[in-house]
Amino acid sequence: MLRLAALAVLLLPCVWMIGTAFMPTVERLDHPLALLPSAPTLAHVVTVWQSGIDRQLLNSVLVGLGATLLSLLLAFPAAYALVRLRFPARLDMLFLVLVLALKLMPPITVAVPLFSLAKWLHLLDSVFGLMLAYQIYTLPMAIWMLLPFVRDVPLECEEAADLDGASLAQRIAYIVLPLCAPGLIATAIFVFITAWNEFLLALLFVSSPSRFTLPLAIAGYVTENGIDWGELMSAGLIASLPTLMLAGYVQRYLLRGFTGGLK
């Protein structure tokens, strides 16, 4: 019973969001605490879609995939080097501490310097600029998540391949990467969700509505003139579905990512 009660509490916001997205505005005003509509309608969803949210959806997909790919390309070599190579004076631990400190910093402390750097590089108001800026969040997380997976790859396998004449690139391509595949997929999911939900840097870096990401588009439904809850929840539902479907499809890798290593 306790588990069912906890599940109900966790699912309540999702049920309210779905119910509000398909509930007529008049019914919501008459019954503000109602969870499910008595006469469901697609009017809010259609209005939101016709407003051009498909463009913001595409921008979020491009930024999320680009930031994820870039993070994995940079994080995997870093994780491999930290595990396999010997660094003098414990520089590997110092590097990890600095990476963790960067991750734990309040976002606003790095937002202004990043804005100035992006302006100097002419990367403001661009999808590519957001991909690079998001590395301040995603890269430290990717490095820390990949460390246990690389560490769990048996060193004996690489040594045997080395004796057979395999180069470093071949050992990584044919031994380390296949064994780390669950970790790479789990890390990619977490990185993608982080980039998908990011709001502050997108708000600072992007000014053209055609380049808005979904968090910016959703924030636009909260105005000084009021809030249309039906449209707001419809936009939230559209923004939630891609990540929910992606996480559901690769849930077995997510579970392995939570356990933190190869078995």
| Domains, in order of start, for the chain | 51-222+232-259 (1.10.3720.10)
Looking at the chain, the whole-number percentage of residues with pLDDT higher than 70 is 93
CA distance 216 to 209: 9
CA distance 134 to 202: 9
Strand partners, 222: 227
**Contact between residue 253 and residue 186 where contact means Cβ atoms under 8 Å apart:** yes
Residues with Cβ within 8 Å of residue 208, at least 6 apart in sequence: 125
148's tokens:
């246990």
- CA distances, 189 to each of 20, 107, 241 (Å): 28, 21, 14
CA distance 9 to 14: 10
Q: What is the pLDDT along the chain (263 residues), one digit of tens a residue?
A: 777 888 778 888 888 888 888 888 888 777 777 788 888 888 888 889 988 888 999 999 999 999 999 999 999 998 898 888 877 666 767 777 777 777 777 777 888 888 888 889 888 888 899 999 999 889 888 988 888 888 888 888 888 888 888 888 888 888 888 888 888 988 898 899 999 999 988 998 998 888 899 999 998 888 777 788 888 899 988 988 888 887 777 766 566 555 544 44
What does the pLDDT look like over 61-73, one tens digit per residue? 999 999 999 999 9
Predicted pLDDT of residue 259: 55
Count of beta carbons in the 10 Å neighbourhood of residue 24: 16
Side-chain-side CA neighbours of residue 256 (13 Å): 22
- Total-model pTM: 0.85
Residues with Cβ within 8 Å of residue 122, at least 6 apart in sequence: none
